Amino acid sequence: MSELIEIAGGEDVFADRRARPAARDRIVAPEEVLAARPEVILASWCGKKVRPERIAARPGWAALPAVAGGRLHEIKSPLILQPGPAALTDGLDALVAALWDPAPAGGDG
């Protein structure tokens, strides 16, 4: 995912974690997100709908540039998590749109 963000022209604020082999070692604590102050938040959960309003309601997150600017975006998990070329085509297109399209009113979840 980190590499796709960079290819799309973004900067992954947690890129240092991409080399960690175990998923549990790539988990980001809410406090780390607050400290990083991301301009865009990309979310994707396998088999679960992303709820931007729940993300935005986390303590202190209303002050994050991504939340204040309505830049919480769901990237459908099949686009980026399945093996094969979809991540390099459809997934990359979704990332480019999330990073560079103007923020819709109230976010886009």
Q: Is residue 43 part of a domain?
A: yes
Which domain does 91 fall in, by range? 2-100
Q: Is residue 107 part of a domain?
A: no
Mean pLDDT of 70-90: 78
Spatial separation of the C-alpha atoms in residues 106 and 72, rounded to whole Å: 9
Q: Report the CATH number that the domain containing residue 41 is assigned in CATH.
A: 3.40.50.1980
Q: Is residue 105 part of a domain?
A: no
**Residues whose CB falls within 8 Å of the CB of residue 13, separated by 6 or more in sequence, listed in order:** 36, 38
- Name the domain count of the chain: 1
CA atoms within 13 A on the CB side of 13: 14
Q: Is residue 87 part of a domain?
A: yes
Q: Is the pLDDT of residue 42 over 80?
A: yes
Determine what percent of the chain is predicted with pLDDT higher than 70: 91
pTM of the model: 0.79
